[in-house]
Amino acid sequence: MTPDVTASGDRERSLPREPLELTVDPEASGPALRPADGRGDILSLDFDEVDSAIASLGERPFRARQLFSWLHKRYAASVEEMSDLPRALREKLAERFVLAPPEIDLVQPSSDGARKYKLRTADGRFVEAVYLPDEAAGRRTLCVSSQVGCAMGCTFCLTATMGFVRHLSAGEILGEVHRVNRDLIETVGLAGPRPLTNLVFMGMGEPLHNFENLKRALQTLLSPAGPNFSSRHVTVSTSGLVPLIDRAGRELDVKLAISLNATTDETRDALMPINRKWNLEALLAACRRFPLKQGRRITFEYVLLDGINDSDEDARRLVRLLKGIPSKVNLIPYNESGQTGFREPPAAQVESFRAIVDQAGITAPVRKNRGRDISAACGQLAVLGQHRRRPAAQPGLVTPSGTGAG
């Protein structure tokens, strides 16, 4: 049954579509793709593992640095490209390992400078990544996908309509970033070796649901022997998997963003099924105990949905909820896709909401919706042809509703 959502004012609406159910255990980080022929996925190896692999092949240690650099600084897409490695070593590597980063299938440039990349994995799945340059601020950001589809079922999000297909491996996540870096050098003409400055894990998927692969990918992305991103410039966003937020606080050195989107459990339950497992109180308690480095804040993403969560009362409740948490709120007026039934609030209501949060001393920029003309804006990532309203049951995954999925 569709729950009614109460919002103050005469624009009150109820949810335009049935909420999806969680269809997997959100704490279980399941397997990603493994090469079927038993070879290792070389892009998923960290530096120490590359070092061990090189030693086991009887090669000298400097070859490990050379190989790691080819993989993660020069973005090689095949062992053949590694022209300064001896042919015999390249042959041994090709026998033992697969190097298969996702391939760029389509690039859609936006009139505002954004570029949406559709990437095809080795098993023929598609994910999307969005490049968002802000040259005035010296930022070139990539919005990165962490899964094919998503299990979290957020009602306003197009990715949710794909259901959960599978996790991306660490190598696939890295390959996504590397392919875009390489394209920006070779096609756009930006200076290398790493045109991208910032990464936000806000593309397709719930990053913390894929914790092991995310952690492994981050280790390499932050490695000085690899792309060497600054941890201050990498943000991981979550819909609210509380135990994994705690784990992220212990194990990941990156910035945290919370996709919040509501100020009452009633509304959040209806928009984001994860809230029925960990409600606002549990989520905000996890934020309060999250270990923040000096000067860092937690970013709260808040998609403003007309008549659902955008009232002045919501803004005041938001201020009360965030009390005591070093916070920044990104306000994102909903991008009407025509596929979810939600509406973008009037500009005056967006401004009223922003002003209330801002007057409480919380930075609350209204995010420009980039890439609208290419369906790359927030909540619009979903690959055509991979949609399904409800995901099919995954082997070994639980269906908390007990009704089965599909």
Does 152 bind ligand SF4 (CB under 6 A)? Our answer is: yes
Of residues 150 and 364, the one with the C-beta less far from ligand SF4: 150
Of residues 67 and 274, the one with the C-beta less far from ligand SF4: 274
Of residues 19 and 226, the one with the C-beta less far from ligand SF4: 19
SS3 338: coil
Does 267 bind ligand SF4 (CB under 6 A)? Our answer is: no
Give Cβ neighbours of residue 223 (< 8 Å, ≥ 6 apart).
Answer: 46, 47, 72
Q: What does the per-residue mask of binding to ligand SF4 show for 181-220, with x meaning CB under 6 A?
A: -----------------------xxx--------------
List the catalytic residue out of 21, 59, 128, 206: 128
DSSP lists the bridge partners of residue 117 as: 107, 129
List the catalytic residue out of 143, 154, 287, 378: 378
**Binds ligand SF4 (CB under 6 A): choice among 54, 160, 217, 258:** 160
In this structure, what DSSP letter does residue 4 have? P
287 is catalytic: no
Tell me the chain's radius of gyration from C-alpha atoms.
21
CA-CA distance, 274 to 277, in Å (whole number)?
5
- Cβ of residue 275: shortest distance to ligand SF4, in angstroms? 11
- Cβ of residue 253: shortest distance to ligand SF4, in angstroms? 22
Residue 241: what residue type?
L
> Taking contact as CB under 6 A, which single stretch among the options 152-160, 263-271, 328-336, 361-369 is the one that binds ligand SF4?
152-160
Give Cβ neighbours of residue 369 (< 8 Å, ≥ 6 apart).
Answer: 332, 333, 335, 377, 378
Does 239 bind ligand SF4 (CB under 6 A)? Our answer is: yes
154 is catalytic: no
Buried residues in 372-388 as b, exposed as e (16+ CB within 10 A) = bebbbbbbbbbbeebee
Does 159 bind ligand SF4 (CB under 6 A)? Our answer is: yes
Pairing of strands 97-98, 115-120: unpaired
Compute how many residues bind ligand SF4; rule: CB under 6 A: 12
Of residues 133 and 153, the one with the C-beta less far from ligand SF4: 153
Q: Which candidate, 36, 188, 92, places its Cα nearest to that of 82?
A: 92
**Binds ligand SF4 (CB under 6 A): choice among 79, 122, 154, 184:** 154
106, containing H or E segment: strand 103-109
- Cβ of residue 360: shortest distance to ligand SF4, in angstroms? 26
- Cβ of residue 205: shortest distance to ligand SF4, in angstroms? 6
* Angle of helix 242-251 versus helix 280-289 axis, rounded to 10: 10
> Taking contact as CB under 6 A, which single stretch among the options 34-42, 134-142, 151-159, 308-316 is the one that binds ligand SF4?
151-159
CA-CA distance, 376 to 114, in Å (whole number)?
8
CA-CA distance, 142 to 107, in Å (whole number)?
14
- Cβ of residue 36: shortest distance to ligand SF4, in angstroms? 28
What are the strands, taking DSSP E only, across 287-396?
298-304, 327-333
- Cβ of residue 68: shortest distance to ligand SF4, in angstroms? 31
Of residues 64 and 272, the one with the C-beta less far from ligand SF4: 272
- Contact residues for ligand SF4, defined by CB under 6 A: 150, 152-154, 157, 159-160, 204-206, 239, 259
Residues known to be catalytic:
128, 378
